[in-house]
Amino acid sequence: MKLGNNKINKKSNPFVLFNEWYEEAKRKEIKNPNAMALSTIDSFNRPRTRMVLMKEINKKGIVFYTNSESYKGKQIDKNKNVSLCFYWKSLGKQIIIQGKINKINETESDQYFHSRDRKSKIGAWASDQSKILKKRSILEKRYNDFFKKFSGKEVSRPNYWNGYCVEPRTFEFWLERQNRLHERVEYKLNKAKWSRRFLYP
């Protein structure tokens, strides 16, 4: 029985394959092809997962931006081991990435922050991310206060708003196939070289 013609186009470097899949997702996925699940670990070794948006992929890894005083920021500060998961339903494809995470430099964070929409910049100041919010009106007042504060001025980057780069140690590419006999290829980094192996679905 044939299971369809779709196959993972295997590459020696997983970054090349990632970029191929991501470019396809940008063409076909309805919304936010750069959305990814980020899993971190708290001080009690309990995982926590949330969706964030990839803003760049470069030769080092996957870059996103967030408030360093949020739950994820504090967990990252204590444990640099994280996992990412991209899932593109329209493609029947998934990528899981495990690696180490570190802040990028302030210059890069500044550059990206200043490229954002002005209202989003003000939102970064207004949100005391992950803290208890008693009433929505408090957040709205904070936003309005900062809106007035920066009236006629450039909105500076808060020092707690930073970029992070996940440097992959493993990639797993998953391709949906018939009869749940999916295709899985895992890449592992060892001494600056990538090895590749196949996994049962």
Query: Could you list the active site residues?
Result: 180
Structure-block tokens of residue 156: 């500076």
Nearest to 5 by CA among 200, 178, 189: 178
Token couple for 8: 């993972």
Count of beta carbons in the 10 Å neighbourhood of residue 77: 13
Helices (H), 79-157: 106-115, 118-126, 136-149
| 22 Cα distance to chain centroid | 13
The per-type count for the chain, helices as H runs and strands as E runs, is 5, 9
Please, are residues 185 and 199 in contact by the beta-carbon 8 Å criterion?
Answer: yes
| 41, 168, 177, 181 from 45: Cα distances, Å | 5, 21, 34, 33
